[in-house]
A and B are shown apart, each in its own frame.
Chain A
C-alpha cells in the first residue's frame, strides 16, 4: 500500500504540472496526499491484522506466550478434519439459501411487481409490497435470530402452534434442535432475511429497461413468461451478476445468524467456517488453527471477489 501511495504521489504531481494544471504546483498540493489518512488507517486496521492472521496460521499458538512456528501443520490437520469439511459443506447450503434461492425468487417477484402490479395497480401498491419484502434486510441479525428461534421453538413456538391450529399437529418439529432438520430451518430463515436485497436491486434495474420493449412484445402476443425470459432476464443481467456475487460472498461469511439461531448445533449440524473459526479462536483458544481456517475462508472469498471484479470489468468495457 505504501508503495502505491508513493508512486501515486510522484505520478500525480508530474501529471498535473505538465497537463491540466495552469499554475505551478505548490509543495504538498498533490492528490495522493488525500489518500494518506485512508492508507494509514487501512494499514493499521486491515493490512497488518490480515498479515498477522496469515502468519499465525503457520504457527502453534494459544494466544498467550510466543507463537511457535509449525509450518503447514495446521493446514495438514485441516485437510483431515471432518468438522472443517462439514462446515464448508454447510457453506454450500448457505449459498443456495442466501444467493441462489433469493436471486431466483427475487427475479420473479421483481418482474411481477414491476411489470404487473406497477402497471395495473400503481406505484403506491408496488412500493408498499416492496417495503414488506425488504424489511427483514434492515433488521440486526441478532434480532432476527431472537424472533425466529422463538417462533420455531419446539414448545409453544408459533409455528408449531399454527400447525396444530390448522390440524397439522403431526407436522410439529423441533425445528432448530433436530440435527436432520436444523440446517434446512436455518436456510429457510436466511431466505427470509436475504430476499429483499435482490428484489430491490432488480426493481431498480428494471427501471432502466425501455418500456417500449415490453409494449412491443405484448402487442406481438408474448405472454408474461416469454417477456420475462426474453426481455427482463437479458436486460438486467448485470444486476443478476452483482447480486449473485455479493450474496454468495455474504453466504460464505455468514456468522451472526448461526451464532444466534443454533450456535452451530445441534452436534455441529449447522456449523459454518466463520463460526468454526470463531469458536476455535475464542473458546478452544487454538489461535493458530483458527487462523488457518479463516485464511482458507479468506482465500476462497477473495478469489470469488476477484473473479467478480474481472467479470464486471468485462461487462463495463
Chain B
C-alpha cells in the first residue's frame, strides 16, 4: 500500500533527528583529538588533521582521572551489589512473605525513592561529620545503597509477588528454612531481574551528582561525575582539554551502554509499568 517513494522521507527525517541526537558526541570526539593550535586556527567544526592525544593525556594527569575511575567503579559497584541484596531481602518479605501492611511499606519505599535528595542532603552531611564518615567513599555507598534499594524493593516486590508459590511451599515441606528458600530458589529464579537492577543501580550511582558533590570534597575521593562537574564550574580548561574531559567522561557511559543496551531497554520496560 505504502509505496517506497512515500516510505523514505519518513525514514530520512527520523535518521536526521537521530543524527541530531548524536552530533554532540561526534563533535566532542573530533575535537578531543585536535591539537590546541589546530583548534585555534580552524575552529570546532573542521575535521582533525592528525590524531593528537595530548589533550586527553594532559587532562588525565591533571585530574588524576585513573583515580576518579577507580572511585566511581568502587562506589557504583558496591552500591549496585549491596542495594540488590537489600532489595531482595525487602522484596522477599513483601512479595513472598506478604507481611501485613505491605502496601504501606511499599508506598513508603516509593516515596523514599522519589524524595528530593535536597531534603536529606544537609542532615546527611551533618550526621556524617558527626560520625566521622564525611568525605569518605563509604558514606556515599551507604546513602545510595539505601536510595537505590528503595526502587529495587518496589520493582522486585511486584516481580516476587508473581513468584509461583508451589515452589516455595514444596521447599518448605522438604524442610528448607526461609533463608534457604531465598538463596537456593528465589534468588536463582529471579536472576534476570536482579541483573537488570544491578546494571541500573550501577549506572544511576555512576551518574549521581548532588550528594557526591557535597560529600566527596577531597580530590582523592571524587567520582568521575563530580570531578568533571566541578572542573566545568571553574572554567579553567582550554577548549581541547574540555573536549578531552568530555570524551573521557562519556566513554565509560558509552561502554556501559553498548554492553548493556538490551538489559537497559528491558529494564525500563519492566520498571515503568510493573
Contact of B27 among A139, A151, A201, A277 (CB under 8 A): A151
* Docked-complex contact A200 and B265, CB < 8 angstroms: yes
* Docked-complex contact A298 and B142, CB < 8 angstroms: no
Complex: how many Å from CA A249 to CA B111?
Answer: 11
Most chain A CB within a 10 A radius of its CB, from B119, B142, B146 = B119
B79 within 8 Å of A by Cβ? no
A120 within 8 Å of B by Cβ? yes
- A residues near B121, Cβ cutoff 8 Å: 278, 281, 294
B126 within 8 Å of A by Cβ? yes
- B residues near A192, Cβ cutoff 8 Å: 21, 24
The residue of chain B having its C-beta at the shortest distance from the C-beta of A203 within the complex is B265
Stretch at the interface among A68-76, A78-86, A96-104, A236-244: A236-244
Complex: how many Å from CA A165 to CA B27?
Answer: 15
Our count of residue pairs bridging A and B at CB distance below 8 angstroms stands at 319
Complex: how many Å from CA A55 to CA B123?
Answer: 10
- B residues near A205, Cβ cutoff 8 Å: 269, 272-273
- B residues near A293, Cβ cutoff 8 Å: 118
* Docked-complex contact A143 and B228, CB < 8 angstroms: yes
B residues near A, CB below 8 A?
Answer: 1-2, 7, 10-11, 14-15, 17-19, 21-22, 24-25, 27-28, 43-45, 86, 89-90, 92-94, 96-102, 104-105, 107-112, 114-124, 126-127, 142-143, 145-147, 149-150, 153, 165, 169, 172-173, 175, 177-178, 182, 203, 206-207, 209-210, 213-214, 224-226, 228-229, 231-233, 239, 242-243, 245-246, 249-250, 253-254, 256-257, 261, 264-266, 268-269, 272-273
A residues near B, CB below 8 A?
Answer: 1, 4, 7-9, 11-12, 15, 20-23, 26, 29-35, 37-38, 41-42, 44-46, 48-50, 52-54, 56, 63, 109, 112-113, 116-117, 120-121, 125, 128-136, 138-143, 145-151, 156-158, 161-162, 165, 192, 195-197, 200-201, 203-205, 207, 218, 238-239, 242-243, 246, 249, 252-253, 255-256, 259-260, 263, 273-274, 277-278, 281-282, 287, 290-291, 293-295, 297-298, 301-302, 305-306, 309
